[in-house]
Protein backbone atom coordinates (compact mmCIF):
# COMPACT_ATOMS: atom_id res chain seq x y z
CA UNK A 1 0.00 0.00 0.00
CA UNK A 2 1.22 3.52 -0.78
CA UNK A 3 3.03 5.22 2.11
CA UNK A 4 0.91 8.39 1.81
CA UNK A 5 -2.27 6.32 2.02
CA UNK A 6 -0.97 4.54 5.11
CA UNK A 7 -0.29 7.89 6.75
CA UNK A 8 -3.77 9.05 5.75
CA UNK A 9 -5.27 5.96 7.37
CA UNK A 10 -3.16 6.43 10.49
CA UNK A 11 -4.32 10.01 11.03
CA UNK A 12 -7.94 9.07 10.32
CA UNK A 13 -7.84 6.17 12.77
CA UNK A 14 -6.50 8.39 15.56
CA UNK A 15 -9.19 11.03 15.00
CA UNK A 16 -12.10 8.59 14.65
CA UNK A 17 -11.07 6.58 17.70
CA UNK A 18 -11.89 9.60 19.89
CA UNK A 19 -15.65 9.60 20.68
CA UNK A 20 -17.60 12.61 19.44
CA UNK A 21 -21.18 13.48 18.41
CA UNK A 22 -21.41 10.51 16.01
CA UNK A 23 -20.41 7.97 18.63
CA UNK A 24 -22.73 9.51 21.22
CA UNK A 25 -25.67 9.39 18.81
CA UNK A 26 -24.98 5.78 17.83
CA UNK A 27 -24.72 4.74 21.48
CA UNK A 28 -27.94 6.48 22.55
CA UNK A 29 -29.93 4.87 19.74
CA UNK A 30 -28.46 1.44 20.43
CA UNK A 31 -29.04 1.59 24.17
CA UNK A 32 -32.49 3.17 24.09
CA UNK A 33 -34.04 1.51 21.05
CA UNK A 34 -32.18 -1.72 20.38
CA UNK A 35 -29.75 -3.31 17.96
CA UNK A 36 -31.62 -2.49 14.73
CA UNK A 37 -31.91 1.17 15.69
CA UNK A 38 -28.20 1.24 16.46
CA UNK A 39 -27.36 -0.22 13.05
CA UNK A 40 -29.63 2.25 11.26
CA UNK A 41 -28.11 5.13 13.22
CA UNK A 42 -24.61 4.07 12.19
CA UNK A 43 -25.69 3.81 8.54
CA UNK A 44 -27.07 7.35 8.70
CA UNK A 45 -23.88 8.64 10.29
CA UNK A 46 -21.65 7.02 7.70
CA UNK A 47 -23.79 8.39 4.88
CA UNK A 48 -23.07 11.85 6.25
CA UNK A 49 -19.38 10.95 6.59
CA UNK A 50 -19.38 9.77 2.97
CA UNK A 51 -20.74 13.16 1.91
CA UNK A 52 -17.98 14.98 3.83
CA UNK A 53 -15.15 12.95 2.29
CA UNK A 54 -16.67 13.16 -1.18
CA UNK A 55 -17.03 16.93 -0.80
CA UNK A 56 -13.38 17.20 0.25
CA UNK A 57 -12.24 15.10 -2.71
CA UNK A 58 -14.29 17.19 -5.16
CA UNK A 59 -13.20 20.51 -3.66
CA UNK A 60 -16.69 21.43 -2.40
CA UNK A 61 -15.43 21.65 1.19
CA UNK A 62 -12.88 24.25 0.13
CA UNK A 63 -15.65 26.44 -1.31
CA UNK A 64 -17.65 26.22 1.94
CA UNK A 65 -14.60 26.82 4.13
CA UNK A 66 -13.67 29.87 2.06
CA UNK A 67 -16.95 31.51 3.00
CA UNK A 68 -17.03 32.62 6.66
CA UNK A 69 -20.79 33.08 6.45
CA UNK A 70 -21.42 29.54 5.18
CA UNK A 71 -19.06 28.08 7.75
CA UNK A 72 -20.79 30.00 10.54
CA UNK A 73 -24.21 28.80 9.37
CA UNK A 74 -22.94 25.21 9.34
CA UNK A 75 -21.34 25.58 12.77
CA UNK A 76 -24.43 27.09 14.38
CA UNK A 77 -26.72 24.62 12.60
CA UNK A 78 -24.68 21.71 13.88
CA UNK A 79 -24.61 23.08 17.42
CA UNK A 80 -28.32 23.77 17.30
CA UNK A 81 -29.14 20.25 16.18
CA UNK A 82 -26.99 18.69 18.90
CA UNK A 83 -28.72 20.95 21.44
CA UNK A 84 -32.08 19.81 20.05
CA UNK A 85 -31.09 16.16 20.55
CA UNK A 86 -29.82 16.94 24.04
CA UNK A 87 -33.03 18.63 25.15
CA UNK A 88 -35.00 15.78 23.66
CA UNK A 89 -32.99 13.27 25.72
CA UNK A 90 -33.81 15.33 28.80
CA UNK A 91 -37.51 14.85 28.04
CA UNK A 92 -38.18 18.43 26.98
CA UNK A 93 -40.83 18.60 24.27
CA UNK A 94 -39.91 21.01 21.49
CA UNK A 95 -41.97 22.55 18.63
CA UNK A 96 -39.80 20.68 16.08
CA UNK A 97 -40.27 17.34 17.83
CA UNK A 98 -42.71 16.04 15.23
CA UNK A 99 -40.97 17.61 12.25
CA UNK A 100 -38.18 16.55 9.92
CA UNK A 101 -35.51 17.04 12.59
CA UNK A 102 -36.95 14.49 14.98
CA UNK A 103 -35.27 11.06 15.18
CA UNK A 104 -38.77 9.61 15.10
CA UNK A 105 -38.80 7.78 18.43
CA UNK A 106 -40.72 8.49 21.60
CA UNK A 107 -38.86 9.57 24.72
CA UNK A 108 -39.47 7.16 27.64
CA UNK A 109 -40.50 9.97 29.98
CA UNK A 110 -43.26 11.06 27.61
CA UNK A 111 -44.50 7.58 26.80
CA UNK A 112 -44.98 6.88 30.51
CA UNK A 113 -46.82 10.16 31.03
CA UNK A 114 -49.51 9.47 28.43
CA UNK A 115 -50.44 6.47 26.28
CA UNK A 116 -49.44 6.74 22.65
CA UNK A 117 -50.04 4.58 19.63
CA UNK A 118 -47.16 2.37 18.53
CA UNK A 119 -44.95 4.21 16.03
CA UNK A 120 -44.69 2.87 12.51
CA UNK A 121 -41.38 0.91 12.38
CA UNK A 122 -40.51 2.23 8.92
CA UNK A 123 -41.00 5.84 9.94
CA UNK A 124 -39.10 5.27 13.17
CA UNK A 125 -36.07 3.74 11.46
CA UNK A 126 -36.15 6.37 8.73
CA UNK A 127 -36.22 9.05 11.43
CA UNK A 128 -33.18 7.53 13.14
CA UNK A 129 -31.30 7.28 9.82
CA UNK A 130 -32.18 10.88 8.96
CA UNK A 131 -31.10 12.12 12.38
CA UNK A 132 -27.77 10.30 12.11
CA UNK A 133 -27.24 11.80 8.67
CA UNK A 134 -27.84 15.30 10.05
CA UNK A 135 -25.56 14.75 13.04
CA UNK A 136 -22.64 14.05 10.70
CA UNK A 137 -23.54 16.47 7.90
CA UNK A 138 -23.90 19.40 10.31
CA UNK A 139 -20.62 18.71 12.08
CA UNK A 140 -18.32 21.56 10.96
CA UNK A 141 -15.30 19.87 12.52
CA UNK A 142 -15.69 16.96 10.10
CA UNK A 143 -15.79 19.32 7.15
CA UNK A 144 -12.72 21.27 8.28
CA UNK A 145 -10.84 18.10 9.22
CA UNK A 146 -11.23 16.42 5.85
CA UNK A 147 -10.66 19.71 4.06
CA UNK A 148 -7.30 20.01 5.81
CA UNK A 149 -6.41 16.31 5.63
CA UNK A 150 -7.30 15.14 2.11
CA UNK A 151 -5.19 17.63 0.08
CA UNK A 152 -2.05 16.63 1.99
CA UNK A 153 -2.23 13.11 0.55
CA UNK A 154 -2.97 13.94 -3.09
CA UNK A 155 0.14 13.36 -5.23
CA UNK A 156 0.91 16.52 -7.23
CA UNK A 157 -2.31 18.11 -6.03
CA UNK A 158 -4.37 16.20 -8.61
CA UNK A 159 -7.14 13.97 -7.30
CA UNK A 160 -7.72 10.81 -9.34
CA UNK A 161 -10.87 8.70 -9.30
CA UNK A 162 -9.08 5.58 -7.95
CA UNK A 163 -7.46 7.58 -5.12
CA UNK A 164 -10.77 9.28 -4.22
CA UNK A 165 -12.53 5.91 -4.21
CA UNK A 166 -9.84 4.40 -1.98
CA UNK A 167 -9.96 7.32 0.47
CA UNK A 168 -13.75 7.28 0.66
CA UNK A 169 -13.85 3.50 1.14
CA UNK A 170 -11.23 3.63 3.90
CA UNK A 171 -12.85 6.52 5.78
CA UNK A 172 -16.39 5.14 5.63
CA UNK A 173 -15.10 1.69 6.58
CA UNK A 174 -13.32 3.13 9.61
CA UNK A 175 -16.45 5.09 10.51
CA UNK A 176 -18.50 1.90 10.45
CA UNK A 177 -15.87 0.14 12.53
CA UNK A 178 -15.60 2.76 15.28
CA UNK A 179 -19.19 4.06 15.44
CA UNK A 180 -20.58 0.52 15.17
CA UNK A 181 -18.01 -0.83 17.60
CA UNK A 182 -18.80 1.74 20.28
CA UNK A 183 -22.54 1.16 19.83
CA UNK A 184 -22.13 -2.63 20.06
CA UNK A 185 -19.97 -2.26 23.17
CA UNK A 186 -22.58 0.00 24.77
CA UNK A 187 -25.27 -2.59 24.03
CA UNK A 188 -23.19 -5.31 25.63
CA UNK A 189 -22.49 -3.21 28.72
CA UNK A 190 -26.16 -2.31 28.98
CA UNK A 191 -27.10 -5.99 29.17
CA UNK A 192 -24.76 -6.49 32.10
CA UNK A 193 -23.48 -3.75 34.39
CA UNK A 194 -25.73 -0.90 33.20
CA UNK A 195 -29.02 -2.77 33.05
CA UNK A 196 -30.22 -0.88 36.14
CA UNK A 197 -29.14 2.55 34.90
CA UNK A 198 -31.90 3.33 32.40
CA UNK A 199 -33.26 6.14 34.54
CA UNK A 200 -30.04 8.19 34.35
CA UNK A 201 -28.87 7.10 30.89
CA UNK A 202 -31.01 9.48 28.77
CA UNK A 203 -30.31 12.56 30.97
CA UNK A 204 -26.57 11.82 30.87
CA UNK A 205 -26.70 11.54 27.07
CA UNK A 206 -28.72 14.76 26.95
CA UNK A 207 -26.13 16.74 28.89
CA UNK A 208 -23.36 15.26 26.73
CA UNK A 209 -25.14 16.44 23.58
CA UNK A 210 -25.54 19.91 25.10
CA UNK A 211 -21.86 20.00 26.08
CA UNK A 212 -20.82 19.04 22.55
CA UNK A 213 -23.09 21.76 21.15
CA UNK A 214 -21.46 24.31 23.45
CA UNK A 215 -17.95 23.27 22.35
CA UNK A 216 -18.92 23.74 18.71
CA UNK A 217 -20.31 27.22 19.39
CA UNK A 218 -17.28 28.43 21.31
CA UNK A 219 -14.80 26.56 19.13
Measuring CA to CA, how many Å separate 174 from each of 14, 35, 70, 177? 10, 20, 28, 5
**According to the model, what pLDDT value does residue 115 have?**
35
pLDDT on residue 120? 43
- pLDDT (0 to 100) of residue 113: 33
pLDDT of residue 99: 52
Given this model, what pLDDT does residue 160 score?
80
Query: For residue 213, what pLDDT is reported?
Result: 80
Q: Cβ-count burial of 158 within 10 angstroms (0-12 exposed, 13-18 middle, 19+ buried)? A: exposed
Residue 36 in 3-state DSSP?
Answer: helix
Separation in Å, CA 143 to CA 4, 89, 111, 140: 21, 26, 37, 5
Q: How many CB atoms lie within 10 A of CB 81?
A: 22
* C-alpha gyration radius of the chain: 18
Per-residue model confidence (pLDDT) at position 110: 37
Distances in Å between the Cα of 72 and the Cα atoms of 45, 78, 148, 216, 217 are 22, 10, 17, 10, 9
pLDDT tens for 169-191 read 989 999 999 999 999 998 887 66
Beta strand residue intervals within the chain, DSSP E: none
With a cut of 50, list the residues of the chain below it in pLDDT: 106-122
Amino acid sequence: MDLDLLRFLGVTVVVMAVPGPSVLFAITQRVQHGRVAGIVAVLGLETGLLAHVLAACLGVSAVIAASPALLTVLRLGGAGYLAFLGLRQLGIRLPLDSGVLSPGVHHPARTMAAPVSAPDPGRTLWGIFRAGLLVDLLNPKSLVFFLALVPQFIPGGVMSAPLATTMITCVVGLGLLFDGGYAALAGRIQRTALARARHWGPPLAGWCFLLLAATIVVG
